[in-house]
């Protein structure tokens, strides 16, 4: 009987979180920030545009498009050793703190990322990459990879206006190829 009571209470709590949002259910978020890739030896800029639907005042979901570029860390010349990524993701967000002025949200979801890597070894230097690629001195190599993975985020959003919020987010993205991106972002969120 106790298990049944807990199940019923959980159902009502969950249903109350998903009740219909009547005003301004659509949202659009624009973010830019600083990111590190791998073990931190590659840094760069990240930008993302996301949009979706508020299912309740506390829960929303949406689609995102990510773009980022990195220098390839210790490999010189730096202007010819670059990595870039384009990603698509689906995320759900839940406000663990929800007031009229402030929201603290957690988010998570899957992604697919399309990576492009460019390397050129210096004279007298050979580079061996973990995916069995050997770059001889003065040789330039470019290759593409696709990675499936998962996102997790924590965000603080100030909403001084009804339709506009300003936020800071910490985001970590991990994938099956072990290409990780950790980023700190700032941006705007609009409701329609």
Q: 11 or 39: which carries more pLDDT confidence? A: 39
Whether the predicted pLDDT of 12 surpasses 80: no
Contact assessment for residue 172 and residue 22, using Cβ atoms and an 8 Å cutoff: no
The pTM for the full model equals 0.81
CB–CB of 143/179 below 8 Å?
no
More confident residue, 104 or 78: 104
Query: How much is the pLDDT for 148?
Result: 97
When pLDDT is averaged across residues 90-109 and rounded to a whole number, the result is 96
- Joined together, the tokens standing for residue 164 give 């506009």
Q: 158 or 178, which is more confident? A: 158
Q: Are 116 and 84 in contact (CB under 8 A)?
A: yes
pLDDT at 165: 96
Position with higher pLDDT, 141 vs 116? 116
Task: Name all domains of the chain by residue range, CATH numbers in brackets.
Answer: 26-148+158-168+182-191 (2.40.160)
Instruction: Tell whether the model's pLDDT for residue 5 goes beyond 60.
Output: no
Whether 14 has a pLDDT exceeding 90, the answer reads no
pLDDT of residue 21 exceeding 50, the answer is no
In the predicted structure, residue 20 carries a pLDDT above the cut 70: no
Give the pLDDT confidence score for residue 108 in this predicted structure.
Answer: 98
Q: Nearest-5° angle of CA 112, CA 58, CA 172?
A: 30
pLDDT above 90 coverage of the chain, percent: 58
pLDDT digits (tens, 9 = 90+) for 38-93: 766 788 999 999 999 999 999 999 999 999 998 866 655 666 778 899 999 999 99
Helix (H) or strand (E) holding 148: strand 140-158
Helix (H) / strand (E) containing 189: strand 181-191
């Amino acid at each position: 009987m106790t298990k049944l009571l807990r199940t019923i209470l959980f159902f009502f709590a969950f249903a109350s979180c998903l009740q219909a949002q009547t005003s301004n259910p659509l949202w659009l978020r624009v973010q830019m920030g600083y990111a590190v890739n791998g073990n931190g030896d590659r840094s760069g800029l990240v930008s993302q545009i996301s949009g979706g639907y508020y299912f309740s005042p506390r829960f929303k979901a949406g689609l995102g498009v990510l773009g980022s570029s990195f220098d390839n860390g210790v490999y010189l010349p730096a202007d010819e050793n670059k990595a870039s990524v384009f990603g698509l993701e689906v995320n759900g967000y839940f406000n663990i703190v929800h007031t009229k002025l402030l929201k603290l949200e957690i988010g998570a979801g899957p992604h697919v990322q399309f990576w492009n890597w460019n390397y050129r070894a210096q004279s007298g230097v050979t580079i061996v990459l973990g995916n069995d690629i050997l770059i001889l001195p003065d040789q330039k190599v470019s290759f593409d990879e696709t990675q499936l993975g998962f996102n997790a985020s924590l965000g603080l959003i100030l909403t001084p206006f009804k339709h506009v919020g300003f936020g800071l987010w910490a985001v970590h993205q991990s994938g099956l190829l072990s290409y990780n991106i950790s980023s700190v972002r700032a941006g705007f969120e609009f409701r329609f």
